[in-house]
Chains A and B, each alone.
Chain A
Amino acid sequence: MSASDRPPPARGRPRRTARLAAFDGDGGPDPALLADCVHCGFCLPACPTYALWGEEMDSPRGRITLMEWARAGEVGLTKEVVRHWDSCLGCLACVPACPSGVRYDLLLAAARDQVERRFRRPWDERWLRRGLFAILPHPARLRAAVSVVGMAERLGLMGLVRRSPARGPIAVRLRAPLELLAASRDPAQGIGPSRERRRRRAAAARPRRPAGGAPRLRVALLTGCVQRVLYGASNARASRVLAAYGAEVWVPPGQGCCGALELHGGRTAAARARMRRLIAVLDIPGVDRVVVTAAGCGSALRRGAEPFADDPAWAERAAALAARVRDVTEVLAELGPPAEGLGELRCRVAYHDACHLAQAQGVRAEPRAVLRAIPGLELLELSEPDLCCGSAGVYNLTDPEAARRLGARKAATIAAVAPDLVVAANPGCQVQIASALRAGGTPLPVLQPVDLVAAALRSGGGRR
Chain B
Amino acid sequence: MVTPAAGVGAVLRRAAGDGAVRPATARDRVAGVQPSWVVRPQAVEQVAAVVQAADARGWSVVPRGGGGGMAGGAAPSRCDLVLDLTGLDRVIEHVPGDLVVAVEAGVTLAALQDRLGPAGRQRLMLDAPPPPRGPAPTLGGLVAAAAAGPRRHRYGTPRDLLLGARFVLADGTVARTGGRVVKNVAGYDLCKLLVGSRGTLAVVVELTLKLHPAPAAAAMVTVERVAAPDLVPLVALVRRSPAVVTAAEALWPERSVLLRVEGPPRVAAGEAALLARAVGGRVLAPEAGERGWSRCLRRPWAGRGAVVAVAVAPGRVGELAACAEALACPAALRIGLGVGLVRTADDPTALDRLRDAVEAMGGCCDPQRVSPIGAERVASRPPAGALRLMAEVRRRFDPHGTLAPGRLAWGGP
Residues of A within 8 A of B (CB): 17-21, 23-26, 28, 57, 66, 69, 71-76, 78, 80-81, 84
Contact = CB atoms under 8 A, between A and B. Distances in A.
A21 B35 CA distance: 9
Most buried by A among B2, B10, B38, B81: B2
A110 to B, nearest CB: 12
Contacts of B24: 21, 24-25
A453 to B, nearest CB: 48
Nearest to B7: A74
Given A25-B23, A73-B9, A81-B2, 11 more contacts: A18-B36, A21-B37, A57-B1, A69-B4, A72-B9, A73-B12, A74-B5, A74-B10, A75-B3, A76-B8, A80-B1
Nearest to A21: B36
Contacts of A25: 22-25, 28, 38
A69 B1 CA distance: 14
B5 to A, nearest CB: 7
B4 A26 contact: no
B25 A24 contact: yes
Nearest to A25: B25
A28 B4 contact: no
B80 interface: yes
A75 B2 contact: yes
B108 to A, nearest CB: 23
B392 to A, nearest CB: 29
Interface string B29-43: 000001011100000
B59 A73 contact: no
Interface residues of B, number: 26
A73 B28 contact: no
B389 interface: no
B8 A21 contact: yes
Contacts of B360: none
14 contacts: A19-B80, A20-B8, A20-B37, A21-B23, A21-B24, A24-B25, A25-B23, A26-B25, A69-B7, A72-B9, A73-B7, A73-B10, A75-B3, A84-B2
A74 B4 contact: yes
A69 B2 CA distance: 10
B119 interface: no
Interface in B55-73: 59
A24 B36 contact: yes
Contacts of A76: 7-8
Interface string B277-294: 000000000000000000
A21 B36 CA distance: 5
Nearest to B37: A21
B33 to A, nearest CB: 9
B7 A72 contact: yes
A75 B80 contact: no
A24 B34 CA distance: 9
Most buried by B among A21, A28, A57, A72: A21
Q: Shortest 5 CB-CB distances between A and B: which pairs?
A: A73-B9, A25-B25, A21-B36, A74-B4, A20-B36
B292 to A, nearest CB: 40
Contacts of B81: 20
Contacts of A66: 2
A451 B161 CA distance: 83
Nearest to A18: B36
A21 to B, nearest CB: 4
Interface string B144-181: 00000000000000000000000000000000000000
A26 B38 CA distance: 13
Contact of B36 (A17, A69, A78, A84): A17
Contacts of A28: 23
B384 interface: no
B21 interface: yes
Contacts of A78: 2
A20 B4 contact: no
A75 B34 CA distance: 19
B326 interface: no
B386 interface: no
B21 A73 contact: yes
Most buried by A among B8, B10, B11, B80: B8
Contacts of B9: 21, 72-74
B8 A57 contact: no
Nearest to A56: B1
B17 to A, nearest CB: 14
Contacts of B10: 72-74
B26 interface: yes
Most buried by A among B4, B28, B36: B36
Nearest to A84: B2
Nearest to A71: B23
B80 A73 contact: no
B59 A20 contact: yes
A21 B59 CA distance: 12
A26 B26 contact: yes
Contact of B80 (A20, A23, A72, A74): A20
